[in-house]
């Protein structure tokens, strides 16, 4: 069982202690991330792009997620393991429960993450009612990239910013335990972080969130194609390898020097 619990994460928010979350897709990277001191291991459907070589996360299936979650869960001793519900695996509350059951029972996840705002509130409510820890995800939604027309910052316009704040509050009220904010303006991310009682984890959302998450391949500089501008390479130029890079990133999050 994970020793990092939701109670611990909420206490970290209350005390202003930054939370560190990294993606992991196998036992080796999960072990290294734990040794570096991460609090949360996210088995992200980002594996579709960085592991499987797809252009988006859409082709990732629930079977893929169960398999990779099991690899990570076997290595996790302290960190909490969250697994993404992949594209269209939570279109209804009933489907969300069935998908979460597989990720937790077969994959060994401690909780699940799902993308969306008001459209997933009912699914969050149902999952929370059955005792499933839920991490919501707002801002840039990679599973909706074909609808969004590309990977772009979200929430720049006043109406869009207001919608994101309203959706964040609705998700918390529905029972979400955590929230990831991806690629939203730093000022907006800070406002949402202050407004919510649950921990808010940012990615490309400035330094005002309660914690940070990155795709582990990004911070190691080994992501195929163009690396996101908000993810500096923590490996190149150092002689202490992957373990050193992960420790540097965790230290930077704890000291709030990342993101700059």
| Catalytic site positions | 182
**Other beta carbons within 10 Å of 58:** 16
Q: CA quadruple 129, 196, 153, 69: dihedral positive or negative?
A: negative
Q: Say which residue the tokens 């252009």 belong to.
A: 55
Q: In angstroms, what CA-CA distances link 123 with 98, 117, 126? A: 11, 11, 5
d(CA 117, CA 123): 11
Beta strands in the chain (DSSP E): 19-23, 40-43, 80-84, 111-115, 134-139, 178-182, 200-203, 211-214
Preceding peptide of 259 cis, ω within 30°: yes
d(CA 206, CA 244): 24
Q: In angstroms, what CA-CA distances link 110 with 75, 168, 235, 249? A: 13, 22, 29, 24
At residue 253, φ and ψ (nearest 5 deg) are -65, -45
d(CA 207, CA 199): 14
d(CA 187, CA 150): 22
């Amino acid at each position: 069982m994970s020793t990092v619990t939701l109670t611990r994460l909420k206490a970290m928010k209350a005390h202003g202690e930054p939370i560190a979350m990294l993606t992991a897709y196998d036992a080796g990277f999960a072990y290294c991330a734990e040794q570096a001191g991460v609090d949360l291991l996210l088995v992200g459907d980002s594996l579709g792009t960085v592991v499987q070589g797809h252009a988006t996360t859409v082709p990732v299936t629930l079977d893929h997620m169960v398999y990779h979650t099991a690899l990570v869960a076997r290595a996790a001793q302290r960190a909490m393991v969250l697994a993404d519900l992949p594209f269209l695996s939570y279109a209804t509350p009933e489907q969300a429960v069935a998908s979460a059951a597989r990720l937790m029972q077969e994959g060994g996840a401690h909780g699940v993450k799902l993308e969306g705002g008001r459209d997933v509130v009912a699914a969050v409510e149902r999952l929370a009612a059955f005792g499933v820890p839920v991490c919501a995800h707002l801002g840039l939604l990679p599973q909706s990239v074909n609808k969004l027309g590309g990977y772009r910052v979200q929430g720049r316009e006043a109406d869009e910013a207001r919608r994101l704040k309203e959706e964040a509050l609705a998700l918390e009220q529905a029972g979400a335990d955590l929230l990831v904010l991806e690629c939203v303006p730093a000022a907006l991310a800070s406002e949402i972080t202050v407004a919510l009682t649950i921990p808010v984890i940012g990615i490309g959302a400035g330094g005002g969130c309660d914690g940070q998450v990155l795709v582990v391949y990004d911070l190691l500089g080994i992501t195929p194609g163009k690396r996101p501008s908000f993810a500096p390479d923590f490996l190149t130029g150092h002689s202490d390898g992957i373990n050193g890079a992960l420790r540097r990133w965790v230290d930077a999050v704890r000291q709030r020097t990342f993101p700059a």
